[in-house]
Structure 1
């Protein structure tokens, strides 16, 4: 029996060494863009937030839609994550603005200085302190407020891509046991132990090897008008009315939540790339989901920024791209423009 165990261990040792070595490698060693690099994947490693904390570095990334093809476009992606793991230059306990969002707010394909939170601070001459929380939702904010990790801000901006589901708030049970669990999870962050373990267990090296063997490449849809331009999904441009009303119900609950804590709510819908550049797929008409949502939100006095209308007007006078050619996310230009629009919106709100 001992010989069998020894032989088994000797046989498995090369594989174990390879797996364990992942813990010592940079977080982006087997990924093609930053967004995937710091996200916890293992369900067994204790952590309180979705992203590795206290990370800093640089990498060269490419978009999701046509990687490993001649159309991929290398991008410099510097990054910093704060003590909670969110992508900010530093943690801000008492910000003027909190932005809750998805991969757009987190800055997929963007460098640190190009993030929406950083752009709002810079373009307002640092009138506002802004804290970005992504990818996450209102349930995380509720937990952070109840645990006194962060103070309620004056403004809460909720960003979500058009195709994204807007989840209901799950209220945090601020009991002794949940507080104890939170502190227990924090212990695993000492010395980045949870980061080290997650890098081992997430299996990126296996996926990387498989991708190399199968010659994996981006599966985006190439534009029939511009060969350099790729789209994520050109088949599902019009969601159902039922799905739309579920999302609106969630937005209504967010507005009520913000009212209850004394913060002002602003919804920032991020159009799908396919919606903005529908004519370059091409399809005959622009999807009208966001226009329908905007009309209903206006009727219910829920503040939102009409991003799609701004993009449409921009395209009439300027041919610069607002999205990455090889990815579904916005580029630095779009992020900067929207940051300035948000500042204008907040100024108008203060009049």
Structure 2
């Protein structure tokens, strides 16, 4: 009898010990504001573990928040900025789902540390007077496996990437099965408000906001969090970002981009590549070596040889920063700012206009951007 009582007391103690850890995630989800432990809306509504939902973010969200840059949050160098986010029914950062032009890309296309009206999709939409849809972060393969784009394809797909991620762009067909599975499960969840609510709730519970917030504070307090900073500008990679690439690497990357053009052409969709220079690229003189990178010029030269359409952001960005001291990236973040987005939107709009003009005068009249590879 005494043994049983002892076991009961032990179980009770263990229950009391575990209870706060089990209950606290529920308090975070059902009691505290969604962004209580986050410094950006990105972390607040991004899908953490339930990666069977359609998009990278929770659907039908509308939030405003004072954000800090990803490279120096909760430090004296953080630059606070009020931003607004809206996500559509699929969990992408759009106000609606119309898509004459579709942007595929990374967090720069999503618009980290930018308000909704400052994103490339929003700015470009105003310039083109067409519906521009932000499908980011995502890949071409995810696009190819998504039912709604098969049934209602866009006229033009712009594939964008920050410079450091270009070598990792997946070839057509890579991860094709996972993209198709995600399309199926995403459609299933979207078909039911109850399933959507359950998926979002489960994902929010899995985030353990207080735990990660505490770890980050400990890392900062103990100096375990390392920062790459020169002249009070923060960088994500530093010197490594401006490394040299071999001709073989350039060829392989161009093969991938040419593959995008070909597979989209088979669907009657025009293609345009939009590279975004690294912060280290444009601000190279702040780095210890002051080495000017050559990757994007080499890649664009190869794309010219192949007739693959692209927009040259390297030269305009260089000119604005070097000659006019125009800031194109926040000091505490590696993503482009609203000024750089406006410049890129103007370049893209000009490219499309010139391509259309050339298309009208072309004897073949094939309505394809390959007639006009690169523009500045």
TM normalised by structure 2 equals: 0.83
State the structure with bigger RCO (CA 8 A, min sep 6), 1 or 2: 1
Worse overlay, 315-324 or 287-296: 315-324
Counterpart-to-counterpart distance in 1, 2:100 and 2:184: 29
Find the counterpart in structure 2 of residue 308 from structure 1: 314
Find the counterpart in structure 1 of residue 114 from structure 2: 110
SS at structure 2 position matched to 1:59: strand
Counterpart selection for 2:37 from 21, 30, 34: 30
CA RMSD of aligned residues (A): 2.5
Find the counterpart in structure 2 of residue 169 from structure 1: 172
Counterpart-to-counterpart distance in 2, 1:50 and 1:8: 37
More helix by proportion, 1 or 2? 2
Superimposed CA distance per residue, residues 228-272 of structure 1 (whole angstroms, 9 cap, x where no aligned partner): 322221231215325443322221111111111111111000110
CA distance 1:258–1:281, shift in 2 (3 Å) = same
CA distance 1:128–1:49, shift in 2 (3 Å) = same
Question: Is this contact kept in 2: 1:65–1:232, CA < 8 A?
Answer: yes
Question: Is this contact kept in 2: 1:323–1:334, CA < 8 A?
Answer: yes
Counterpart-to-counterpart distance in 2, 1:210 and 1:291: 41
Find the counterpart in structure 2 of residue 60 from structure 1: 66
Find the counterpart in structure 2 of residue 319 from structure 1: 325
Find the counterpart in structure 1 of residue 363 from structure 2: none
Consecutive unaligned residues in structure 2, runs of 5 or more: 1-6, 358-376
Superimposed CA distance per residue, residues 259-312 of structure 1 (whole angstroms, 9 cap, x where no aligned partner): 111111110001100001101224333100000100000001100011111112
Is 1:85 matched with 2:91?
yes
Question: Is this contact kept in 2: 1:189–1:195, CA < 8 A?
Answer: no
Counterpart-to-counterpart distance in 1, 2:149 and 2:312: 33
TM normalised by structure 1 equals: 0.89
Question: Is this contact kept in 2: 1:21–1:200, CA < 8 A?
Answer: no
Counterpart selection for 1:201 from 181, 201, 206: 206
Find the counterpart in structure 2 of residue 96 from structure 1: 100
Runs of 4+ in 1 over 6 A off after TM superposition: 176-179
CA distance 1:177–1:117, shift in 2 (3 Å) = closer
CA distance 1:46–1:157, shift in 2 (3 Å) = closer
Worse overlay, 241-250 or 52-61: 241-250
CA distance 1:206–1:114, shift in 2 (3 Å) = same
How many equivalent residue pairs?
A: 341
